[in-house]
Amino acid sequence: MALQAALLPSTLSSVPKKGSLGAAVKDTAFLSVPQKKLQAASLSVRTQVATTAPVATPGSSTAAKDGKKTVREGVVVITGASSGLGLAAAKALAETGKWHVVMACRDFLKAAKAAKGAGMADGSYTIMHLDLASLDSVRQFVDNFRRAGMPLDSLVCNAAIYRPTARTPTFTADGYEMSVGVNHLGHFLLARLLLDDLQRSDYPSRRLIILGSITGNTNTLAGNIPPKAGLGDLRGLAGGLRSQNGSAMIDGSESFDGAKAYKDSKICNMLSMQELHRRYHEDTGVTFASLYPGCIATTGLFREHIPLFRLLFPPFQKFITKGFVSEAESGKRLAQVVSDPSLTKSGVYWSWNKDSASFENQLSQEASDPEKARKLWEISEKLVGLA
Ligand code: LMG
Ligand code: NDP
Ligand code: PMR
């Protein structure tokens, strides 16, 4: 991690100055990073990652020569863009030429390889280090992002881990159970901090998107496959999700279940999106959304599942449940939630039907319980040091 963090400024320094953007870049804050440090670091990764500052200063974007308003290139931050859905969405957005993608990833070199492997054009993305298993890293990411001088027009909280067979918990740097720590708490802090940046953006439609899932919703068949999600009265979370003198499970149960911890974290994601909507949509105009992109049975999410599962799960979803979607298709769906002008409604949990048309889906009772959302918000604020 230290190596990746050290490499970070180099991506900023190796910006190819394309066309008029180059001049704009000079005015932005990010060149205020000490030059010596930049030069030293840039040598090592210049060939791996090329980045470009996508826009001039915020607010300078809409005047065109013919008097018509044109929308400037947007900037979207996607967490966990080094594989699966995040990578596919990063590619889909970058390919439109309308978005510069900030890939917020824990493994810098893996992300660089993934972007190249996916054929993403140099200059269409920037990789920045973010390890959601550390609240310090989240804060550092926010600092680094701000120092880079880019506006923030859309944030996608996509990264996740799933530990389906784990019977004992592992913990984040801050001592919280890993699945909820990464999938919910890390993103909760990130979203809260970057909300200011979204608010400052002059982009026509600013969005904050948090991935949900069908398996966290008990109003579906998939949500009824054991172990079922359920936050109970949040006593385990309130106790700090630690094993000693408490529980690593949100509902306070004594035994740890990695599959349930993941599904619980997805309820947290969906509740957080709605609480953000209630607290901030009206005042900020930011659109808050969640989604179930379909069952992307081939991603790295299942890397820790037993081999038999990994073998049978894709054909099972393809031919039996018909819930399967390819990574490319799921990437298009997420890209739609980021940028489609028709998906501006806030507080919505999006899903897609058999014809790949988006619709507003219903969340389970628990995943839409405002009282639980408020309680979750208050406890999470304490755990991440915001209250
Ligand atoms: C559990 O294990 C862990 O134990 C638990 O701790 C937790 O981690 C949990 O939620 C996570 O996972 C996972 C899994 C092991 O256990 C189960 O899911 C139990 C159910 C398995 C029973 C399968 C019954 C299937 C019923 C579907 C209907 C079948 C009809 C078959 C007809 C065939 C038609 C040609 O399970 C596994 O490892 C494998 C589970 C994978 C999904 C089940 C796949 C079953 C069918 C296989 C079909 C293959 C597709 C062929 C497609 C041909 C199409 C023409
Ligand atoms: P992948 O495992 O392919 O991608 C997850 C990403 O999260 C990876 O880039 C991974 O990084 C990153 N990540 C994991 N831990 C951390 C961390 N501590 N800090 C920063 N990044 C981290 O899974 P998917 O693409 O399938 O999942 C993406 C999202 O989609 C998740 O939110 C998941 O819940 C959701 N989802 C997935 C479904 C599916 O069927 N696959 C269905 C419904 C929702 P690295 O590459 O370094 O491992
Ligand atoms: Mg599930 C009816 C359709 C359906 C859908 C859309 C999913 C999605 N699943 C469905 C049905 C079933 N699944 C059935 C009938 C079974 C029993 C065989 C089943 C089993 C199953 C397992 C063991 N399914 C799983 C697992 C996992 O380990 C995955 C999981 O729970 O991850 C948390 C999973 C999933 N099924 C899905 C989706 C989208 C997942 C994984 C991803 C997620 O929610 O993020």
If the chain, 387 residues long, is cut into consecutive pieces of 10 residues, what is the mean pLDDT of each piece?
Answer: 35 32 30 30 31 43 53 96 98 98 98 98 98 98 98 98 96 97 98 98 98 97 97 97 89 97 98 98 98 98 97 98 98 98 97 96 98 98 97
CB 384 within 8 A of CB 376: no
CA distance 54 to 20: 10
> Which residues share a beta bridge with 79?
104
End-to-end CA distance of the chain: 28
ipTM of the complex: 0.88
pLDDT of residue 372: 98
Residue of the CA atom closest to atom 4 of ligand 3: 222
pLDDT of residue 321: 97
pLDDT of residue 241: 96
Indicate the Cα dihedral angle 138, 217, 239, 162, nearest 10°: -50
Number of the ligand closest to the Cα of 322: 3
Q: Is residue 68 part of a domain?
A: no
Max CA separation in the chain (angstroms) = 67
pLDDT of residue 56: 40
Cis status of the peptide bond prior to 226, with omega within 30 of 0: no
pLDDT of residue 29: 28
Our answer on whether the CB atom of 261 is closer than 6 Å to any ligand 3 atom is no
> Which residues share a beta bridge with 126?
102
State which residues form the domain around 85: 74-215+265-362
Structure tokens at 333: 């769906």
pLDDT of residue 69: 64
DSSP state of 316: I
Looking at the annotation, which residues are catalytic?
Answer: 262
Our answer on whether the CB atom of 84 is closer than 6 Å to any ligand 2 atom is yes
Distance from residue 83's CA to the centre of ligand 2 (Å): 7
pLDDT of residue 243: 76
In which residue are the tokens 């953007």 written? 21
CATH number where 90 lies: 3.40.50.720
Distance from residue 167's CA to the centre of ligand 3 (Å): 19
Distance from residue 212's CA to the centre of ligand 1 (Å): 22
Distance from residue 314's CA to the centre of ligand 2 (Å): 17
CA distance 222 to 65: 53
**Per residue in 133-179, pLDDT tens?**
999 999 999 999 999 999 999 999 999 999 999 999 999 999 999 99
Q: Is residue 202 part of a domain?
A: yes
Helices 84-95 and 108-117, interaxial angle, to 10°?
50
Q: Is residue 176 part of a domain?
A: yes
- Residue 294 CA: nearest ligand 2 atom is 42
Q: Is residue 19 part of a domain?
A: no
Residue of the CA atom closest to atom 41 of ligand 2: 296
CB 132 within 8 A of CB 170: no
pLDDT of residue 24: 31
Domain count, the chain: 1
CB 384 within 8 A of CB 135: yes
**Per residue in 287-343, pLDDT tens?**
999 999 999 999 999 999 999 999 999 999 999 999 999 999 999 999 999 999 999
Identity (one letter) of the amino acid at 284? Answer: T
Q: Is residue 380 part of a domain?
A: no
The pTM of the whole model exceeds 0.80: yes
- Residue 257 CA: nearest ligand 1 atom is 6
Q: Is residue 21 part of a domain?
A: no
Residue of the CA atom closest to atom 36 of ligand 3: 222
CB 86 within 8 A of CB 59: no
Q: Is residue 91 part of a domain?
A: yes
- Residue 259 CA: nearest ligand 3 atom is 33
Q: Is residue 280 part of a domain?
A: yes
